[in-house]
Amino acid sequence: MTEGGTVQGKFISFEGIDGAGKSTHIGFVAGWLAARGKAVVSTREPGGTPLGEKLRELLLHEKMHLETEALLMFASRREHIAQVIAPNLALGNWVLSDRFTDASFAYQSGGRGLARDKMETLEHWVHPGLQPDLTLLFDVPLEVARERLDATRTLDKFEREQADFFEKCRGEYLRRAAEFPQRIVVIDSTRSIEAIQAHLSEVLEKLL
């Protein structure tokens, strides 16, 4: 409840290495919630605002220093929180974000090796007091994710990284899940889409 007496919406983030199945399931979750009368806003990071989408273009295609990359991810996030996430939650809407700060831990700290305390500093600076109510971590072994990534599509800067990079990203995601078991639910994404959706329904039911 906010001071005005309106009910705050809920914030769900979707995480996992590239090809794990996030995009496949965001639409399902949005539909599931809408069918239960929730107003749903689907968005993504990096991006989600006009400025954030410009930053996304740079982040996905330009070479840059690791710390520049981390700072731009959080610049995009700061704008996203101000323009989209916070106002929608205040209106009582449910916000579904394709990635949030766990992705920065996984990719910039896990994958690229940025010291975790620097990441924690950015997290505390940019969103003190705000965390997703629920994070769905789609987890698959690397080989499965690679097979699923459409061979015909042009891969971006991150998707062209080597296997070792994604192993480290996955490891950091799972470490975060163990650190925050109340918030992060690991979804075994090697199962069929139907089996995963049944699991998602159970998890969502508890959040209503």
**Cα–Cα dist 116/126, whole Å:** 15
CB 109 within 8 A of CB 169: no
Question: Measured from the CB of residue 177, what is the shortest distance to ligand TYD in angstroms?
Answer: 16
Instruction: Find the binder of ligand ADP among 59, 95, 177, 196 (CB under 6 A).
Output: 196
Give every CB contact of residue 159 below 8 A, 6+ residues apart in sequence. Answer: 18, 149
Among 8, 24, 42, 131, interactor with ligand ADP by CB under 6 A: 24
Considering the complex, what minimum distance in angstroms separates the CB of residue 177 from ligand ADP?
Answer: 16
Q: Which does 2 bind (CB under 5 to 8 A by kind): ligand ADP, ligand TYD, none?
A: none
| Rounded Cα distance, 28 and 4, in Å | 32
196 binds, among ligand TYD, ligand ADP, none (CB under 5 to 8 A by kind): ligand ADP
Pick out residues in 105-124 that bind ligand TYD (CB under 6 A): 107-108
Instruction: Using CB under 6 A, count the residues that bind ligand TYD.
Output: 14
How many Cα atoms occupy the beta-carbon half-sphere of 140 within 13 Å? 22
> Rounded distance, CA 157 to CA 36, Å?
38
Q: Quick one: which of 179, 176, 201, 197 has its CA closest to 188?
A: 197
First to last CA, the chain: 14
Angle between helix axes 193-207 and 22-34 (nearest 10 degrees) is 50
Size of interface with ligand ADP, in residues (CB under 6 A): 15
The residue range among 3-11, 79-87, 97-105, 186-194 that interacts with ligand TYD, by the rule CB under 6 A, is: 97-105
Q: Does 172 bind ligand TYD (CB under 6 A)?
A: no
Q: Does 47 bind ligand ADP (CB under 6 A)?
A: no
| Residue closer to ligand ADP (CB basis): 122 or 196 | 196
Q: Which residues bind ligand TYD (CB under 6 A)?
A: 18, 23, 44-46, 73, 98-99, 103-104, 107-108, 156, 158
